[in-house]
Structure 1
Amino acid sequence: MREKTLPWLMAVSALAAAACLAGLAWTLYDYFREVPPVTLTKPPEAVQEVPAAPAEDDGKFRVLALGDSLTRGYGDPEGKGYAGYLADALKGKAKEEVVLENLGVNGQTSPQLAEMLGQAAVQGQVKAADIILVSIGGNDLFRGGETLATLDLAAVAKIQEEYTKQLQGILGRLRELNPQANLFLIGLYNPFIELKDANVTSKIVRDWNYQAAETAAAYPKTVLVPTFDLFQLKVSDYLYTDQFHPNVQGYKLIAERAAALVTW
């Protein structure tokens, strides 16, 4: 009797798990269908031309920000984002003049950032930087909600594997160009943490951050800045109207976390 019962229980468990994932997929589909249009008072523009780096050390403290829309400051009416608020915080501490070069691009993925690092002007900015900020991976993982809406865990694992390879190349190239600057990789938060079955999406994001932190640890002066916990308890208070990007308060939280790691 027990031998007949066990397969039946396993089948029921499998159906229950499938139903759980299907429910999450429908919730995310419905969420993305009803997201309000995004309107910024001062929308940040994509990088058109990379400024030339100084020919020699000019005595300024240079902060270079690379990556996606979080770096660019999307969702902040002033377009500062975490990079801008971090630079503001450093201006009150640094003896030198603090200069921020924000090369973030809305929608950028890790392969696109890797390609960008092949540009001579970008390489010059990397070499001149005292601090390098990188926010990359959100578009690789979320893909406009497609990944978490379908919630194909095998596909997520494949995406993570591909991202890790890209991240290794990005960090390796940055360290080759500038082995002295402290490099801060901004971790991911879960913007869907208040939706149904958030434990599944949260596990995906936590695993993603863990692998990113392990990758960063292989390079000198390279640290992953955790953000998951900053948004975990009150995520709706720190998101922009698109319910995906941070708002001003969210960006300031990330900036404060990163600023606390800066040493002189």
Structure 2
Amino acid sequence: MHTLVAPNFQSIRQTHQQPLKIVVLGDSLIYGFGDPEGGGWVERLRRQWMSPDSPGHVLYNLGIRGDGVKQVQARLEHEFRHRGELKNRVPDAMILSIGVNDSARLGRPDGRNFTEFESFQTELAHLLDQAKQLCPVLFVGMVPVDEAKMPFLNCFYFNHADQYRYKEATRLACHKRQIPYLDIFDLWRSRGHDWCVKHLCSDGLHPNVAGYQALLHDVLHWEAFNHLSEPILATA
């Protein structure tokens, strides 16, 4: 329902006998804000892959709270080209997750969006094209907010109508480029309003502990992700 099979992931897994080096870039959904127990879905996955009993891939969490598409695009290559094992080379794969901050209305419910829609589409196209030239890409979509808890920080008004508009633009841009897109917004809303509210923090914006656990479950059961993260081939 939410997936496209990435054309290059299978060949990557066939040619690598060592753990893949994967970077994850985005906003607070990647950073893990709201999950004091596990640090978010990316951190939970990183810890799982670090276990000596089930070694996995090398995961770099490059999430920054408040980032929009323009900020992620600006730091895309600089972030990983100077980072440890990735210094002076590209990662084996990349996961992106942005858009909710871009959709926010500023100052009032009918204020301008943080990133005007046309600008968002242009910046997103540049980001996806740039990322895909570097390595295979996956995209994890935004979670639906609790509109009743707005505004966030007394100035940011998030709503489902704008979220849907921005996530659909993202989904279509990914589809055009054969980038697998996980539609978290529609997936979570299909589980009902009460379910969504129970998986968000009191701020109505960030997932809580249960929310990040659910996010990790959704990612781990995503066909496109499993094409990327299948068991590491035994070394010769």
TM norm structure 1:
0.62
SS at structure 1 position matched to 2:145? coil
2:183 counterpart of 1:225: yes
Q: Is the Cα contact below 8 Å between 1:75 and 1:240 reproduced in 2?
A: yes
- The structure that has the greater radius of gyration is 1
In the TM superposition, residue 205 of structure 1 has moved relative to its aligned partner by 1.9
Q: Is the Cα contact below 8 Å between 2:101 and 2:114 reproduced in 1?
A: no
Q: Is the Cα contact below 8 Å between 2:99 and 2:166 reproduced in 1?
A: no
Cross-structure match for 2:3: none
Cross-structure match for 1:74: 33
Structure 2 residue identity aligned to 1:233: H
Which aligned pairs between 1:54-73 and structure 2 lie closer than 5 A? 59-73=18-32
TM norm structure 2:
0.69
C-alpha spacing 1:113/1:205, structure 2 compared with 1 (3 Å): same
Which aligned pairs between 1:150-161 and structure 2 lie closer than 5 A? 150-152=109-111, 155-156=112-113, 159-161=116-118
Q: Is the Cα contact below 8 Å between 1:225 and 1:257 reproduced in 2?
A: no
Which aligned pairs between 1:111-260 and structure 2 lie closer than 5 A? 111-119=70-78, 121-122=80-81, 124=86, 127-130=90-93, 132-142=94-104, 146=106, 149-152=108-111, 155-156=112-113, 159-178=116-135, 181-192=136-147, 201-230=159-188, 232-234=192-194, 235-260=196-221
- Aligned counterparts of 1:72 and 1:236: Cα–Cα separation in 2: 20
Q: Is the Cα contact below 8 Å between 2:49 and 2:55 reproduced in 1?
A: no
Structure 1 residue identity aligned to 2:163: V
In the TM superposition, residue 59 of structure 1 has moved relative to its aligned partner by 0.7
Deviation readout 1:41-75 (Å, 9 max, x if unpaired): xxxxxxxxxxxxxxxx6711333210111110011
Unpaired segments of 5 or more residues in structure 1?
Answer: 1-56
Aligned residues: 195
C-alpha spacing 1:203/1:109, structure 2 compared with 1 (3 Å): closer
Q: Is the Cα contact below 8 Å between 2:49 and 2:56 reproduced in 1?
A: no
1:102 to 52, 61, 64: 61
Whichever structure has more helix as a proportion of its residues is 1
C-alpha spacing 1:219/1:95, structure 2 compared with 1 (3 Å): farther
- Aligned counterparts of 1:62 and 1:227: Cα–Cα separation in 2: 27
Structure 1 residue identity aligned to 2:122: K
Once the two structures are aligned, what percentage of the paired residues are identical?
21
SS at structure 1 position matched to 2:162? helix
**Which protein, 1 or 2, shows the higher relative CO under an 8 Å CA cutoff with sep ≥ 6?**
2
Cross-structure match for 2:233: none
- Aligned counterparts of 1:247 and 1:81: Cα–Cα separation in 2: 9
Q: Is the Cα contact below 8 Å between 1:109 and 1:139 reproduced in 2?
A: yes
- Aligned counterparts of 1:243 and 1:158: Cα–Cα separation in 2: 21
